[in-house]
């Protein structure tokens, strides 16, 4: 998609479709008024007839009104003008883009320079427009023999707000596009089936990032190298699979070598059958999405490189396939993790924490400024938050607060759960230092408790994206979350 700034009165813009806002009770925005005046009341006829009230998100197309240059005008309801929050603005953008991409309009012009978003600055709108345009035009086609319809949209232009500096708007459009593309990259990796997207495939993807971006170097550890490091917990997960586990390490150097890095660790279970503690069959296909944490780390690293962030960032992916088999780990088996702690594996379906604990121990060698893991870790997170929020747990209040701020800003929502000591006893074991499950209650918290035993020395946060990483049902597909949140967080950091 191409993005540009196009100044000028909306009725004089030549585009396949011009988008203007109509506020609640049919109040026309200045841009809508200009079109209405030039176009012989083409909008007033609609609002006066009561066919468009300006309710938030409703849309209607008018075809080449007399006196207006553009082939189409798309009206989009803005709701109450005074209640134009960032959330509502995103709804306006999403709905108008959705309506516009259903048309065969190659270039869209957003005549929305007069919009004043109550809780954001002027440049935010430009960035978010580009982000949403990328997001909405993503289609999964890779494994279809007939490539589905791709939206006709090729370019999006934006009328700048009065007084906005052209260069800043342009760079905001670029940033938003970069984030949108990263979100799509995460979606694409998530959507690929388990027989294509294996641990080796993720490793290849990460290596390609290293080849494409000068700032990124990628190293991949195989099972033999992991065994030498004592990563028996991680290796216990891949034991039943013919697919070799990989520990993928991507390093972005944007600051001096001695500047401590921000470290991200992603759960990359490319398929989770549950192992010997086999999952029931219903919707098991969705366990191809069990690598969405890894996908978000890879995509965020790409975005960090494209945005040339002047900080050091390390992205680590613990990639494995969880399968039953004669060599698979059995319930009751005990392994010694890289940190030296012994783990009783009471349920082989609680495998995410088993790969993450060794990856988190490995992360220590980078002396992280802070350490964030991203994982589709527990069904309990889905039960708690549904699809809306990512669960956040942390041993550091400042880090948690900062991540929550970034979730608000990016509208990639997260909500904190407690990591109180009281919960720790639930993962006691009679035969090892720790058990890998904590019983049926407080599953998201006990999973985080398990991880906290391996991050005691770090400023650490855990994002459980089991609910937010993908949608089920007819809209089945990866969401690309929490790339928006992670990029926002990293953008705010200094070397
Ligand atoms: N990948 C799953 C978590 C999951 C389940 C995400 C359903 C999204 C939807 C994870 O590996 C898992 O199986 N967790 C178990 C842990 C339990 C055995 C303690 C769970 O949540 O049921
Ligand atoms: Mn599992
Ligand atoms: Zn899993």
Are the C-beta atoms of 337 and 228 separated by less than 8 Å?
no
Give average pLDDT by consecutive 10-residue segment, the chain, 495 residues.
97 98 98 98 97 98 97 98 98 98 96 97 96 97 91 96 92 98 98 99 98 98 99 99 99 98 99 98 98 99 98 99 98 99 99 99 98 99 98 98 98 98 98 98 98 98 99 98 99 97
Taking the CA atoms of the chain, what radius of gyration do you get in angstroms?
Answer: 24
Phi first, then psi, for residue 305 (nearest 5°) are -70, -45
Active site residue 279: yes
Q: Is the CB of 442 under 6 A from ligand 1?
A: no
Give the domains, in start order, of the chain with CATH numbers.
2-137 (3.40.220.10), 193-491 (3.40.630.10)
**Residues 6 or more apart from 203 whose CB is under 8 A from it?**
220, 246, 248, 319
For ligand 1, pick from 350, 384, 442, 472 the residue to mutate: most ligand atoms within 8 Å of CB: 350
DSSP string, 190-222: HHS-TTTS-HHHHHHHHHHHHHH-TTEEEEEE-
391 lines ligand 1 (CB under 6 A): no
Tokens of 389: 């929020």
DSSP three-state, residue 355: helix
* Torsional sign, CA 146, 152, 155, 160: negative
Ligand 1 atom closest to the CA of 277, numbered from 1: 18
Q: Which residues contact 478 (CB under 8 A, 6 or more apart)?
A: 186, 187, 188, 189, 190, 191, 289, 292, 295, 469, 470
- 83-109 exposure pattern, b = at least 16 Cβ within 10 A, e = fewer: ebebebbbbbbbbbbebbbebebebbb
Predicted local distance difference test score (pLDDT) of residue 149: 83
Amino acid 163: pLDDT = 87
CA-CA distance, 247 to 232, in Å (whole number)? Answer: 13
Where would I find the H helices in 364-455?
A: 379-385, 397-410, 443-452
Of 277, 441, 427, 409, the residue nearest 347 (C-alpha): 277
CA nearest ligand 1 atom 5, residue: 379
pLDDT in tens, 254-282: 999 999 999 999 999 999 999 999 999 99
Pocket flag, ligand 1, residue 346 (CB < 6 Å):
no
Helix 483-491 / helix 292-306 crossing angle, nearest 10 deg: 40
Q: What CA–CA distance (Å, rounded) separates 85 from 81?
A: 9
**Measured between alpha carbons, how far is 178 from 148 in angstroms, rounded to an integer?**
24
Q: Which atom of ligand 1 is nearest to the CA of 469?
A: 8
What sign does the dihedral 159-164-170-173 (CA atoms) show? negative
274 C-alpha to ligand 2 centroid (Å): 5
The closest alpha carbon to 247, from 202, 287, 193, belongs to 202
351 Cα: distance to centroid of ligand 3 (angstroms): 6
DSSP 337: -
Q: Angle between the 166-191 and 483-491 helix axes, to the nearest 10 degrees?
A: 140
Ligand 1 pocket test, pick from 374, 379, 466 with the greatest ligand atom count within 8 Å of Cβ, gives 379
Q: What is the pLDDT of residues 24-55, one digit of tens each?
A: 999 999 999 999 999 999 999 999 999 999 99
Q: Is 393 in the pocket of ligand 1 (CB under 6 A)?
A: no
Question: Taking a C-beta distance cutoff of 8 angstroms, is the pair 202, 187 a contact?
Answer: no
> Based on the number of CB atoms within 10 Å of its own CB, is 81 exposed (0-12), middle (13-18) or buried (19 or more)?
middle
List the one residue out of 310, 337, 330, 371 whose CA is nearest residue 450. 337
256 token code pair: 């001096």
- For residue 269, the ligand 1 atom closest to its alpha carbon is 1
Residues 6+ apart with CB under 8 A from 278: 324, 349
- 378 within ligand 1 shell (Cβ under 6 A): yes
- Is the Cβ–Cβ distance between 422 and 445 less than 8 Å? no
CA dihedral 177→183→184→188, nearest 10 degrees, is: 160
Question: Counting atoms of ligand 1 from 1, which one is nearest the CA of 380?
Answer: 21
2 phi and psi angles, rounded to 5 deg: -105, 145
- pTM here is 0.98
In the residue annotation, 139 being an active-site residue is answered as no
Locate 60 and state its tokens: 């209607």
**Out of 204, 279, 341, 476, which one is annotated catalytic?**
279
Catalytic residue among 353, 369, 453, 481: 353
> Is the backbone peptide bond immediately before 304 cis, with ω within 30 degrees of 0?
no
Residue list, CB under 5 A from ion ligand 3: 269, 272, 290, 352
pLDDT of the residue at 122? 86
């Amino acid at each position: 998609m191409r993005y540009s700034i196009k100044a000028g009165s909306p009725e004089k813009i030549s585009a396949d479709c011009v988008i203007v806002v109509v506020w609640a009770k049919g109040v026309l925005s200045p841009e809508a008024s200009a079109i209405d005046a030039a176009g012989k009341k083409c909008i007033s006829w609609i609002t006066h007839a009561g066919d468009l009230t300006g309710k938030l998100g409703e849309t209607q197309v008018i075809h080449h009104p007399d006196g207006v240059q553009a082939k189409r005008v798309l009206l989009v309801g803005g709701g109450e003008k005074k209640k134009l929050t960032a959330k509502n603005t995103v709804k306006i953008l999403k709905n108008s883009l959705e309506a516009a991409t259903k048309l065969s309009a190659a270039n869209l012009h957003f005549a929305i320079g007069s919009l004043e978003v109550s809780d954001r600055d002027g440049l935010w709108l430009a960035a978010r427009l580009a982000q949403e345009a990328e997001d909405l035009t993503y289609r999964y086609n890779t494994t279809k023999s007939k490539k589905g319809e791709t939206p006709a949209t090729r370019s999006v232009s934006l009328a700048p707000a009065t007084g906005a500096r052209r260069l800043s708007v342009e760079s905001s459009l670029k940033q938003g596009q970069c984030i949108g593309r990263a979100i799509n990259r995460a979606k694409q990796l998530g959507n690929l089936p388990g027989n294509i997207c294996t641990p080796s495939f993720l490793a290849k993807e990460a290596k390609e990032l290293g080849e494409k971006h000068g700032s990124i170097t990628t190293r991949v550890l195989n099972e033999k190298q992991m065994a030498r490091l004592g990563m028996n917990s991680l290796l216990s997960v891949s034991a039943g699979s013919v697919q070799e586990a990989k520990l993928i390490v991507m390093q972005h150097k944007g600051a001096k070598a001695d500047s401590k890095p921000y470290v991200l660790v992603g759960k990359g279970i490319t398929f989770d059958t549950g192992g010997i503690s086999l999952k029931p069959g219903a919707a098991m296909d969705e366990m191809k999405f069990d690598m969405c944490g890894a996908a978000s780390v890879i995509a965020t690293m790409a975005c960090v490189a494209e945005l040339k962030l002047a900080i050091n960032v390390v992205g680590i992916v613990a990639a494995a396939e969880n399968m039953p088999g004669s060599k698979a780990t059995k319930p009751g088996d005990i392994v010694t993790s890289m940190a030296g702690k012994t783990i009783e594996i009471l349920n082989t379906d609680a495998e995410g924490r088993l790969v993450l604990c060794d990856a988190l121990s490995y992360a220590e060698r980078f002396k992280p400024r802070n350490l964030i893991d991203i994982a589709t870790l527990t069904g309990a997170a889905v039960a708690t938050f549904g699809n809306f929020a990512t669960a956040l747990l942390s041993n550091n209040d400042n880090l948690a607060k900062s991540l929550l701020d970034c979730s608000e800003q990016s509208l990639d929502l997260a909500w904190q759960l407690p990591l109180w000591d009281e919960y720790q006893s639930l993962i006691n074991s009679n035969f090892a230092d720790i058990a890998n499950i904590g019983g049926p209650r407080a599953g998201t918290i006990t999973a985080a408790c398990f991880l906290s035993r391996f991050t005691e020395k770090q400023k650490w946060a855990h994002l459980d994206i089991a609910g937010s990483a993908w949608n089920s049902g007819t809209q089945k597909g990866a969401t690309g979350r929490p790339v928006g949140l992670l990029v926002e967080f990293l953008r705010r950091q200094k070397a």
